[in-house]
């Protein structure tokens, strides 16, 4: 009886980055604060940034500072010469830029087209995928100034990455080259991911400046000196301890203190009353849930907040 023939092995499955050289040619569309810095970081990692699109005077100056010697070309010219195309344009402009590049014939099969938007995932890159390019969402979770000072801050930061399964190895390699850590974000979760970052970072800037303004109203000449050690300690404690870091009158249920805050804010800075109320109510909810504030001790406080909210609404 003859032996059964051995099954033939199928074709080897190659990772998506196998067809790409280790050192990529990179093009950057949008030499703003993010694009120019990431381009400089990729160049420092050994990749070749061959061209960038910079329209405004500020973008051209940033390109000269961070990527000296890199050719300035049109967006389609940049796209035609890069293995990896970084599209770092504002969120609302991204779809139009990608559609325009795909429609112009500037994109090619196998090319990696990566955007840096936190709010968008892969759907916005559909026109690029339709012509055979490989889509990648690669968002650095960092605030940028668009200067060389940003480069050392990239070490160890997280990148919100959304990628097709076959492109994950390349995405992980790029993030590692940038000195970062990938956080894999599902397509449907991109808006929530970005909302969390905006809520934490952008609103923090507003909150700090509100506090500084109110200190100036109280006669403090250098509010930053008062706030700096307090806010640094509060941020470090919050990141380390979570809701156990809560302190202050709301977490203690000091209704009288909060009522006096609101009364004085209403006289001096009425525009600050609504945000104070919203944050105080959310702080109270979290303090109660964390066991920092007993519901019985919160009754008077919640009454003050509810009454003030009705006055603001009226």
CATH number where 119 lies: 3.40.50.720
**Banded model confidence at residue 7, pLDDT cuts 50, 70, 90:** very low
Q: Is the pLDDT of residue 47 over 60?
A: yes
Owning domain of residue 147 = 25-185
For residue 10, pLDDT beyond 90: no
Beta bridge partners, 137, equal: 115, 162
* 242 band by pLDDT with thresholds 50, 70 and 90: very high
Contacts of 272 (CB under 8 A, 6+ apart): 210, 213, 214, 265
Task: Please list, residue by residue across 211-246, b when 16 or more beta carbons sit within 10 angstroms of its beta carbon and e when fewer do.
Answer: bbebbeeeeeeebeeebeeeeeeeeeeeeeeeeebb
pLDDT tens track for 156-202: 999 999 999 999 999 999 999 999 999 999 999 999 999 999 999 99
Distances (CA, A) of 5 to 8, 10, 62, 264, 298: 9, 15, 64, 89, 78
Has residue 4 got a pLDDT over 50? no
Question: Quick one: 247 and 160 in the same domain?
Answer: no
Q: How confident is the model at residue 5 (pLDDT cuts 50, 70, 90)?
A: very low
Q: What is the pTM of this model?
A: 0.86
Domain's final residue, options 185, 210, 238: 185
**The CA-based dihedral angle spanning residues 94, 97, 103, 106, taken in that order and rounded to the nearest 10 degrees:** -120
Q: Tell me what pLDDT residue 311 has.
A: 78
Cα–Cα distance list, 60 to 55, 81, 106, 117, 246 (Å): 7, 19, 22, 21, 45
Are both 303 and 213 inside the same structural domain? yes
139 and 201, same structural domain? no
- pLDDT tens track for 253-269: 999 999 999 999 999 99
Whole-angstrom distance, CA of residue 77 vs CA of residue 54:
12
**What's the rounded mean pLDDT across residues 271-275?**
96
Lowest mean pLDDT among 17-21, 25-29, 113-117, 253-257: 17-21
| H-assigned helices in the chain | 33-44, 57-66, 75-80, 91-104, 126-130, 150-153, 168-177, 190-197, 203-217, 223-241, 249-252, 255-268, 273-289, 295-313
Structural domain count of the chain: 2
Q: Residue 233 maps to which CATH number?
A: 1.10.1040
CA distance 288 to 294: 6
69 falls within a domain: yes
Residues 167 and 238 in one domain: no
- Predicted confidence band of residue 148 (pLDDT cuts 50, 70, 90): very high
- Answer whether residue 247 shows pLDDT above 80: yes
Residues 30 and 163 in one domain: yes
Query: Above pLDDT 70, what percent of the chain?
Result: 93
DSSP letters, 205-228, are: HHHHHHHHHHHHHTT-S-HHHHHH
Band of residue 17 on the pLDDT scale cut at 50, 70, 90: low
């Amino acid at each position: 009886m003859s032996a059964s023939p051995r099954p033939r092995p199928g074709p080897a499955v190659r990772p998506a980055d196998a067809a790409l050289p280790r050192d990529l040619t990179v093009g950057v569309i949008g030499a703003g604060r993010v694009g120019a810095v990431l381009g400089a970081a990729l160049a420092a990692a050994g990749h070749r940034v061959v061209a960038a699109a910079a329209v405004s005077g500020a973008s051209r100056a940033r390109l000269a500072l961070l990527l000296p010697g890199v050719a300035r070309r049109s967006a389609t010219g940049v796209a035609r010469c890069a293995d990896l195309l970084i599209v770092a344009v504002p969120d609302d402009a991204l779809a139009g830029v990608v559609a325009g590049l795909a429609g112009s014939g500037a994109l090619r099969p196998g090319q990696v087209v990566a955007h840096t938007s936190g709010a968008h995932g892969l759907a916005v890159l559909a026109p690029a995928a339709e012509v055979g390019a490989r889509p990648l969402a690669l968002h650095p979770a960092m605030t940028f100034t668009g200067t060389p000072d940003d480069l050392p801050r990239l070490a160890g930061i997280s990148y919100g990455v959304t990628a097709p399964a076959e492109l994950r190895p390349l995405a992980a390699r790029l993030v590692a080259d940038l000195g970062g850590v990938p956080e894999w974000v599902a397509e449907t979760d991109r808006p929530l991911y970005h909302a969390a970052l905006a809520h934490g970072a952008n609103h923090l800037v507003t909150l700090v400046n509100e506090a500084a303004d109110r200190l100036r109203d109280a006669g403090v000449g250098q509010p930053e000196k008062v706030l700096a050690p307090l806010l640094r300690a509060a941020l470090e404690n919050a990141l380390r301890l979570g809701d156990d870091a809560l302190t202050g009158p709301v977490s203690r249920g000091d209704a009288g203190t909060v009522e006096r805050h609101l009364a004085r804010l209403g006289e001096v800075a009425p525009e600050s009353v609504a945000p104070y109320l919203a944050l105080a109510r959310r702080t109270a909810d979290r303090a109660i849930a964390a066991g920092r504030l007993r519901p019985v001790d919160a009754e008077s406080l919640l009454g003050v907040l509810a009454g003030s909210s009705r006055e603001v609404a009226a």
